[in-house]
Amino acid sequence: MVGYLDVWTFRRSPPYSRKDRKEATLTTQAATTKPTFPTTRYQGSKRKLTGAILTQIANLDFNTALDAFAGTGSVAHALKELGKQVTYNDALAFNHQIGIALIENDTVKIDENDIQSATTRHKGVTYDDFIQRTFEDIYFTTDENAWLDVAVQNIQNVESKHKRAMLFYALYQSAMIKRPYNLFHRKNLYMRTADVERSFGNKATWDRPFPDHFARLAREANAAILNTNQTCKATCSDALTIKEQFDLVYIDPPYVSGAGSGRGVDYQHFYHFLEGMTRYKDWPDRVDQTSKHRRLMNEINPWCDGSKNADMFTKLFEHLEKSILVVSYRSDGTPSIDELKERLERVKPNVTVIEGERYQYALSTNRKSREVLLIGK
């Protein structure tokens, strides 16, 4: 088995030598300052772990950093707060908008007029009703679908790239917060509307009007904007195609469980509705009409396949071998931590494995898995 550095303290520099095995653990209590990153319902978000992760890498020598599978952008944002020159990357279009809004954007905020304009049906404008026509009785009520059709099209017509991304961010979060499980993986509007006693969820939140959620979340996003006088940017690419060189690369790909089907967390499946809103004009051509919940037509992602993702790690390690590589994964995943370490050692002779506390993500029933960080230098 891998020789883990069992415990970490956040009051001293991390002991990267295996000879120095002091106390405790990759903990969620490591943030040295109150995080400015907004709350999110996004599955797998590292928001609560960013302080712990940064504690382990703060003493590494780097200025430029790539978050290769950036998702919510919480780690990229924390790196930006450290004053690093950060590139946010994600292959999904809606995540790219999050990166533009919170990482690339240094100064642009949205005001009450922007919020009002984005959520109001304007006279003289002809609006498509694609969401109403396509998603009736699937995710949202008829009135909510109508509101979404208008908001999406208003936002797409905003000229400012960064302001448009900020508004999209508020829209994504508003849509997630009104969904059971915060996902779009099944047709289950009935869970919101049924007159039954409930053991989970927050019906008051589900029933609160979209405009209320949108305005609050837009203001919350404003609080996350910061200018560090470093040029940060957001890209939307397959990580294996990125040609730019970075001092450090943070790698947090979809997690594949070591048990069961060997299928990973498919973010396009879970958040296809957000992806569709981002590419609204193309959405009709991409919907799988045979699917009960009108998901996007399936796109094969080898990172979500337990029979292929180990080789994907190897290819990515080789592609990024000139950088310090920092990998986040789970202790019970496929490939195993032992195998990940062995593959990372093919390009990095000095690999440190840091096992953290047990950490249970939202919606997960796994109470035994630990967060693990591998650092290859």
- Four-CA torsion 306, 308, 310, 313, nearest 10 degrees: -120
Instruction: Tell me how far apart the alpha carbons of residues 168 and 218 are, in angstroms, rounded to a whole number.
Output: 9
Backbone angles phi, psi at 220, to 5 degrees: -65, -40
Backbone angles phi, psi at 372, to 5 degrees: -130, 140
pLDDT at 335 over 80: yes
Edge-to-edge strand list for the sheet holding 64-67 = 233-235, 85-89, 64-67, 248-251, 324-330, 370-376, 351-358
How many angstroms separate the Cα of 13 from the Cα of each of 59, 63, 74, 301, 371?
7, 19, 23, 38, 20
Q: Report the pLDDT averaged over residues 320-346.
A: 96
pLDDT at 366 over 90: no
Same domain for 36 and 53: yes
pLDDT at 254 over 60: yes
Q: Report the pLDDT averaged over residues 37-43.
A: 76
Same domain for 1 and 80: yes
Q: What was the pLDDT predicted at 357?
A: 64
Q: What was the pLDDT predicted at 258?
A: 79
Whether the CA torsion 333, 334, 339, 340 is positive or negative: it is negative
Average of per-residue pLDDT values in the chain? 86
Q: Is 226 exposed, middle or buried (0-12, 13-18, 19+ CB in 10 A)?
A: middle
Same domain for 235 and 92: yes
Same domain for 170 and 65: no
Same domain for 204 and 153: yes
Q: Report the pLDDT averaged over residues 246-255.
A: 96
Same domain for 364 and 247: yes
**Number of domains forming the structure of the chain:** 2
Same domain for 296 and 315: no
Same domain for 163 and 133: yes
Same domain for 308 and 272: no
Taking residue 163's Cβ as centre, other Cβ atoms within 10 Å add up to 19
**Cis amide leading into 335 (omega within 30):** yes
Q: What was the pLDDT predicted at 15?
A: 34
Same domain for 165 and 119: yes
Q: What was the pLDDT predicted at 160?
A: 97
Instruction: Give me the percent of the chain exceeding a pLDDT of 90.
Output: 70
Nearest residue to 275 (alpha-carbon basis) of 310, 301, 257, 239: 301
Same domain for 69 and 5: yes
203 against 106, higher pLDDT? 106
pLDDT at 247 over 60: yes
Q: What was the pLDDT predicted at 203?
A: 83
Q: Report the pLDDT averaged over residues 25-46.
A: 58
Q: What was the pLDDT predicted at 200?
A: 61
Residue 332 in 3-state DSSP?
coil
Same domain for 142 and 87: no
Instruction: Tell me how far apart the alpha carbons of residues 369 and 377 are, in angstroms, rounded to a whole number.
Output: 26
Maximum distance among all Cα pairs of the chain, rounded to whole angstroms: 72
Q: What was the pLDDT predicted at 337?
A: 95
Q: What was the pLDDT predicted at 198?
A: 65
Taking residue 176's Cβ as centre, other Cβ atoms within 10 Å add up to 22
- As separate numbers, helices (DSSP H) first and strands (DSSP E) second, the chain gives 15, 7
Instruction: Tell me how far apart the alpha carbons of residues 44 and 254 are, in angstroms, rounded to a whole number.
Output: 9
pLDDT at 251 over 90: yes
b/e 284-320 (16+ beta carbons within 10 angstroms → b) = eeebeeeeebbbbeeeebebbbbeebbebbbebbebb
pLDDT at 66 over 60: yes
Q: Report the pLDDT averaged over residues 68-92.
A: 96
Least trusted range by pLDDT, from 90-104, 219-233, 249-263? 249-263
* CATH assignment at residue 369: 3.40.50.150
Say if residues 37 and 173 touch (Cβ distance below 8 Å): no
Tens of pLDDT along 189-246? 988 888 777 666 688 888 899 999 999 999 999 999 999 999 999 999 999 999 999 9
Instruction: Show the domain range for 33.
Output: 1-106+226-261+302-377
pLDDT at 318 over 80: yes
Q: What was the pLDDT predicted at 260?
A: 53
Q: Is 2 exposed, middle or buried (0-12, 13-18, 19+ CB in 10 A)?
A: middle
Instruction: Quote the pTM value.
Output: 0.87
